[in-house]
Amino acid sequence: MQDDKLELGGRVFRSRLIVGTGKYRDFDETRRAVEASGAEIVTVAVRRVNITDRSRENLLDYLDPQRLLILPNTAGCYSAEEAIRTARLARETGVSDFVKLEVIGDQQTLFPDIPATIEAARVLVKEGFKVMPYITDDPVTCLRLAELGCVAVMPLAAPIGSGLGIRNPYNLRIILEQMQRLQVPVVVDAGVGTASDAAQAMELGCDAVLMNTAIAGAREPIAMAHAMRMAVEAGRLAYLAGRIERKLYATASSPLSGLIE
Amino acid sequence: MKITLNGEPHALDGPTPVARLIAELKLKPNRVAVEINQTVVPKAEYEHTIINEGDLVEVVNFVGGG
């Protein structure tokens, strides 16, 4: 269990917590939160350079690409075309071939546009990208994405930033069973609210958890990053250890014989 | 010569290699990516790729995101 590793798109990671870099007070807090989380993969967004104010520092100055896999996302894209363009730009920045594919279908829920996500994944996989799609917790959609050659599937636990935790653990279990057959890692992406949510995802058998708001939005982000690190580790270890069956009635832990009379 | 840079009108002296625009904007080439008329410009071609009148140029970098 000590050499338990996460394999993703040909790379090996020890940490099973993937963290976002949005919503922090400043880059220094981002850096400290990433450090406390122990994450080896961090997501970033692709946006226009501010031409009028170039004095601003660059996020990459605070993230060590030698130690961290920078995972660019296509957040904010509402069509396959936009997502594909964004992914191509991200790759040309030179950090990696990995992309967190996100094609949003609805502004209020931020649920993914499933047909557009599948379409974009098909194009990007053909272009050699290591595609990690953010997707609804729908087993058939996850199957399609895995069959297309995505290096992982990333079903949501709940709406992005909602902190509701795992709303459909049963779907997740089905997805996990199917993906284990195909040997495609499952990363729960979005909706985690606190440490127990992350632990639950890992106890179910997920390969990793991706979160941003749960850490960045906490009153003490650095402490929450640390909590999430421990939760993911504890959940993973509990999964590997194999939990006991649930029973309706008690079974005594102490010997029934040898009682005083 | 006028181009559109990140959605805003921008003036250049004349046809300009991408590398020169990046330098003029005081950006680090390894921190940005460039698109001309919706096609990504490979980094190796910054010297040879010329920005022309009316081009739609996008220069992006990484920001915090989830």
pLDDT in tens, B8-58: 999 999 999 999 999 999 999 989 999 999 999 999 999 999 999 999 999
- CA-nearest residue to B29 within chain A is A93
- CA-nearest residue to B31 within chain A is A93
pTM: 0.94
Q: How far does the CA of residue B53 sit from the closest CA of chain A (Å)?
A: 19
Query: Do the chains contact at A212 and B66, CB–CB below 8 Å?
Result: yes
Q: Does the CA dihedral A224-A195-A216-A33 come out positive or negative?
A: positive
Q: Are A186 and A204 in contact (CB under 8 A)?
A: no
Nearest CB to B65 within list A43, A85, A94: A43
Query: Do the chains contact at A51 and B8, CB–CB below 8 Å?
Result: yes
Query: Do the chains contact at A24 and B32, CB–CB below 8 Å?
Result: no
Q: Are B65 and A43 in contact (CB under 8 A)?
A: yes
Q: How far does the CA of residue A145 sit from the closest CA of chain B (Å)?
A: 21
Round to whole Å and give the CA distance between A113 and B49: 35
Q: Are A139 and A119 in contact (CB under 8 A)?
A: no
Query: Do the chains contact at A30 and B64, CB–CB below 8 Å?
Result: yes
Q: Is the ipTM of this complex over 0.85?
A: yes
Task: Give the DSSP letter of residue A81.
Answer: H
Domains of chain B with bracketed CATH: 2-61 (3.10.20.30)
Best residue of A32, A89, A96 to probe chain B, by most B CBs closer than 10 Å = A89
Among the listed residues A49, A130, A93, A122, the one whose alpha carbon sits nearest the alpha carbon of residue B40: A93
> What is the pLDDT averaged over residues A46-66?
86
**A120-159 as b/e, with b when 16 or more CB fall inside 10 Å?**
bbbbbbeeebbbbbbbbbbbebbbbbbebebbbbbbbbbb
Task: Give the pLDDT band (50/70/90) at residue A251.
Answer: very high
Q: Which residues pair with A19 in a beta bridge?
A: A42, A211
Task: Give the pLDDT band (50/70/90) at residue A38.
Answer: very high
